[in-house]
Amino acid sequence: MISFKNVNKWFGDLHVLKDINLEVSHGEVVVVCGPSGSGKSTLIRCINRLEPIQKGELVVDNMNVHDKKINMTKIRAEIGFIFQSFNLYPHMTALGNVTIAPIRVRKMSKEEAEKIAKKALVRVGLGDRINHYPAQLSGGQQQRVAIARGLGMKPKIMLFDEPTSALDPEMINEVLDVMRDLAKEGMTMMVVTHEMGFAREVASRVVFMDDGQIIEVAPPNDFFTNPQSERGKHFLSSILTH
Amino acid sequence: MLEAFNFRVILEYMPLYLQCFLATLWLSVLSLIGAILVGIIACAMRLSQSRALSRAGAVYIESIRSTPLLVQLYFFYFGLPSLGVMLPEWITGVIALTLNSGAYYAEIIRAGIQAIAYGQIEAGIASGLNYFQRMRYIILPQALGMTIRPMLGQAIVLVKDSSLLSLISIMELTRAGQLLTSDRFMPTEGFLTTAAFYLLLYYLLKTFSGWSEKRLIFREAH
Amino acid sequence: MWSFYFHELMRSLPFFLKGLWMTVAVAGLGLIAATIIGFILGIVRAGRNKILRSIIGVWVDLIRGTPFLVQVFIVFFILPSAGIELEAFPAAVIALSNMGASFICEIVASGILSVPKGQREAATASGLSNYQQLRYIILPQAMRSIIPPLVGQYVLIIKDSSVVSAIGVVDVTRVGWLTVQRIPEGLMVFGLVGILYFAICYPLINLSNYMERRMTVTATRL
């Protein structure tokens, strides 16, 4: 489904992604973790070309994402992206947020889009808040609307960039629950997160990154109980002590 | 149009232009100083405890801001003589410019003072500083840093406003352009040269604004 | 004497109202054109094309660096030698629209740029095109920071329209100027002109301030 082949990226002189090779298959849930500045956010932002790459090849669903001539709209319609800071549109209701892309990008009718949107909002547990504005919702609720917004497009892939990092602790679980359900239903997901409990439960693989490189790739239980790399050991000891 | 641009004529009129340039400069500087003084007084009135003074200040400021400068200029130019006050044109012009920009300066200063977080003043009171000390060490330095940019902005506006003085027969930059038009039928040379001089003043003031902001700004500590 | 002049002035009231209508016409047309042009250029100015952004930037600087009176003279006197013969009214509207557009362009551009970057990213991520992003996501949010200064700019356009009286447009300022030739009571005549401008501008300024307060409060709640 997603294929990185020798992907390299620079921010000016800074080499932020170094020779990334990774395959994510259909239905897999891959968790990406690592210290700050390791490039994990940049990695998934390249998948829907929110960030461009300078070398290598990134293929999503048989389409070369960084080909200048490709129609990005088609690719982006198949990828749902969840941001750390939610980025909900403040001037639209929850329903409006979820329906805008299906109506404008997939060219659905308003009725059709609203039907799908309502289902998505119910699925994330917000069926009674469809006409609320983001300002009237808590952080956890806003992030769940953001997930519904991604789902409204019926994507093949969902990408999560530290979805719970900006939430107060008591709201983290409501969002992780929704993500767990999605994983169980077979959605192809790539999640950048520090939530190790979540990773252990639903991830098929954990990708550990440091300093722009993929250091280790292993099933979660293997990685968390017996990391092979020095840096992996160091990282785990620093986050598991609290 | 540009092939026939007559540089010789501009050279010929250059002494006049330089004279007018100095006139514009002189009129602007005089009005600027006056406007800042008027602004400080009007602001003090506006912020005073006395209801009468505060009202008077507000009436002055709102009247100026809701009417065009040209109307204010004509008001003094045609109005003062009917009161028996005969003044040379340039003084009338300076009065109008001073009173006009004075109102805007009053607002700029007021905004600067009110923007200073009250906590600063409380800290000053708590450490025993009196009113004048608080003004001198806490309020005014910060207000100065914050208002430099809008004050220079208003100075630029004032220089441009001085062009209206040409309409009451004062010899300044815009009038020079009018002369070239009426004497030699060369509005292009006349007004483009005038524009060039104004642009010179504009860029000088803008550069000064950038330079002073870097050197004088007192940033709020967070 | 005074009451005689007052009586004469009141008899000229229809003349003043005609002039007021002319002011509304010139300012109104200028305002509408400036808004349309200003919005289009503002959107470009906030976009990604560096060359276009610089060109617009130079144009804005030229207009900000020269007095409006000089711009009016340039349009009225210089364009004819480039082959465009203009009467006073169209020249006035063109000069006013040109100036207004440059200021509105900057207001619109900074409004657009003040929308948080994350909004654009979310819209891009869901596949919305640049046009769709601007229309449904960016502009609606930008309007919040555009409208108060926009109304303020409208007031400036109305006041600056008084300057076109210098090329003979018979607006309310010119009516005052013509009237004072036969009713030599400058204070009364231009007092009346001032009141007429005040009646239009003062409510608009208050509207702009009111909207600014409302917009800021809602934004902080978000």
Q: Chain A: give the shortest CA distance to residue C48, in Å.
A: 16
Neighbours of chain A (3+ CB pairs under 8 A): C
Name the percent of chain B lying above pLDDT 90. 56
Please, do chains B and A touch (3+ CB pairs < 8 Å)?
Answer: no
Q: Residue type at C73?
A: F
pLDDT at B216 (0 to 100): 63
Higher-pLDDT residue of A37, C28: C28
Nearest chain C residue to B62 by CA distance is C202
ipTM for the whole complex = 0.90
Q: Does B86 touch chain C (CB under 8 A)?
A: no
Instruction: Indicate if the pLDDT at residue C144 is higher than 60.
Output: yes
pLDDT at B217 (0 to 100): 54
pLDDT at C27 (0 to 100): 96
Mean predicted confidence (pLDDT) in C127-138:
91
Question: Could you list the pLDDT tens digit for every one of the 242 residues in chain A?
Answer: 899 999 999 998 899 999 999 999 999 999 999 988 889 999 999 998 888 999 999 999 888 888 888 888 888 889 999 999 888 998 889 999 999 888 888 889 999 999 999 999 999 999 999 999 999 999 999 999 999 999 999 999 999 999 999 999 899 999 999 999 999 999 999 999 988 888 888 899 999 999 999 999 999 888 888 888 888 888 888 876 65
Please state, rounded to an integer, the average pLDDT across all residues of chain B. Answer: 87
Mutant choice from B78, B83, B164, B165 vs C, greatest count of C C-beta within 10 A: B78
Q: Does C124 touch chain A (CB under 8 A)?
A: yes
pLDDT tens-digit readout, C52-110? 999 999 999 999 999 999 999 999 988 887 777 788 999 999 999 999 999 999 999 99
Look-up: residue for tokens 């555009």? C146
Burial of A110 (0-12, 13-18, 19+ CB in 10 A): exposed
Q: Does C219 touch chain A (CB under 8 A)?
A: no
Nearest chain B residue to C194 by CA distance is B67
Q: What is the dihedral of CA C62, C63, C65, C67, to 10 degrees?
A: 140
Signed CA dihedral, B104, B108, B111, B114: sign only? negative
pLDDT at B202 (0 to 100): 95
pLDDT tens-digit readout, B125-155? 777 777 777 777 777 777 777 788 899 999 9
pTM over the 0.90 mark: no
Q: Closest partner residue to A87 among C122, C132, C222, by Cβ?
A: C122
Q: Closest partner residue to C67 among B187, B188, B198, by Cβ?
A: B198
Euclidean distance between CA atoms B180 and B5, whole angstroms? 13
Chain center to CA of B66:
17
CB A33 within 8 A of CB A192: yes
Euclidean distance between CA atoms C133 and A179, whole angstroms? 28
CB A102 within 8 A of CB A116: yes
Please, do chains A and C touch (3+ CB pairs < 8 Å)?
Answer: yes
Q: Does B1 touch chain C (CB under 8 A)?
A: yes
Element at B10 (helix H, strand E) = helix B7-47
pLDDT at B122 (0 to 100): 73
Q: Does B192 touch chain C (CB under 8 A)?
A: yes
| Two tokens, residue A45 | 């932002």
CB atoms inside a 10 Å sphere around CB C73: 27
| Nearest one of C34, C33, C55, C35 to C44, comparing CA atoms | C55
Q: Which of residues 141-170 of C touch A (CB under 8 A)?
A: 141
CB B106 within 8 A of CB B38: yes
* CB contacts < 8 A (B, C): 130
pLDDT tens-digit readout, B53-104? 999 999 999 999 999 999 999 999 999 998 888 999 999 999 999 999 999 9
Mutant choice from A79, A100, A133, A156 vs C, greatest count of C C-beta within 10 A: A100
3-state DSSP percent of chain B in helix, strand and coil, to 5: 85, 0, 15
pLDDT tens-digit readout, B15-62? 999 999 999 999 999 999 999 999 999 998 988 888 999 999 999 999
Of the pLDDT bands very low, low, confident and very high (cuts 50, 70, 90), residue B115 is confident
Instruction: Indicate if the pLDDT at residue C178 is higher than 80.
Output: yes
Of the pLDDT bands very low, low, confident and very high (cuts 50, 70, 90), residue B221 is very low
User: Which residues in chain C touch residue A74, judged by CB atoms under 8 angstroms apart?
Assistant: 127
Mean predicted confidence (pLDDT) in B197-219:
82
Of the pLDDT bands very low, low, confident and very high (cuts 50, 70, 90), residue B181 is confident
Residue C103 dihedral angles phi and psi, to the nearest 5°: -70, -40
pLDDT at B134 (0 to 100): 72
